[in-house]
Structure 1
Amino acid sequence: MNLRVRRRPVRYARIEVKPDGEVIVTAPEGFDVESFLQRNSSWLEGKMAEIDGLRELAESGFPVNGEFYGVVRGRKARIHERFKTVVLPPYPDELREELKRFLRPRIEELIESYAGRMGVSPGKLFIRSQRTRWGSCSGKGNLNFNLRLAAVPPELREYVVVHELAHLKHRNHSRAFWDFVLCFYPDYRPAREELNKWWGVLELNPYWRWLEGRE
């Protein structure tokens, strides 16, 4: 087990399992971490089994639009939707740009579809490689979307767009915010759970690890 112990002045110890399988225990000085892990062994085994399942899925190809495409090595990056293949170029920058070209029109189409109905006027659209979130909305109304959205099923991408557009009405995650999201994306709860699974898949996928400079 890949274990990391963080000693912090906290009142209660806690366990966190990262998508890549790393186990992090945060506990005060002098706390018996080994006994703590033994008491939580059943829960921990379940989480590790879940990650093993995600790892098997993650290694089945290059994820695009919720599917796993075959990978071909080549000189120029390209996504072939018809043949379900991705041409992997020598350098990740080239593939990142190709994924941006793939993702941008799909995001723009969703914004155009929802903004009027939701009564919002978004600012500029940015697509970036982000390590902690699927999207964000700036104080100026600009929308930022994670390049990882090229990998997920279209309906999950749709939820993220609705979520960020809703922040143009409600800046926090208040009850009013979630009620507003519910009006336009009723299945937001299962969508959030599915997005968590896809985040884990992308953390484990060898091609996205290369793409994001994690290998």
Structure 2
Amino acid sequence: MTDKPVHRVRGVDHAAFPTFDPAATVRFYRDVLKFPIVHSICAAGWGPERHPDFIHFFFDIGGGDRLAFFYYFGWEPAGDQTAPGDAWARLPHGTPKFFADSRHLAINVEDEEDLLEYRRRLDESEWPVEMQVMHETIESIYTHDPNGYMVEITRALRPVTPQEDLDAELTLRALCDVASGEAPSMDQLLTRKAELIVERAASWEPTGKELV
């Protein structure tokens, strides 16, 4: 193992929160604050039994940092959500664990060596690693801090490509189109996304260099 500083963290990879209004969330962060959409994950049939389908989408907030949101199909919080700043306090006792854990902090490290070092430190502490997951573009370990908040430590497996950024933009356009409708679902989102891909493809100009 090479010598490295004791402090290995390079900053926040992303902070994540749930959203009940993805269209307004996109308008605020992308259109008002000008944070581009850079990645999205369509998760169907993921996780433990009865875990809802969800979209996990990311905004580039500069400096290599991202802000992320979850939209869960078919799940709404109970209680009055109209008072600014007080909505979370009125979520009922027994709110699903997947919803509580969607609000988490993800910390970025450089490589597998660093990730395994943090796993070792956590496993030797009062807060051992609860799971280690290989995602689409990152590998992560997870635990809960003393306050009960989920903490993720993650390393990049590869860069996110411009094509994936475009896929994220189309995914979010589709989500905004279907989320305000009646009983939105993953099937509706994928159908709408396919329509948007067809619409975009119809506008592409042939260059004569396409692969055949």
State TM-score, norm by structure 2. 0.23
Structure holding more helix per residue: 1
- Where relative contact order (Cα < 8 A, 6+ residues apart) is larger, the structure is 2
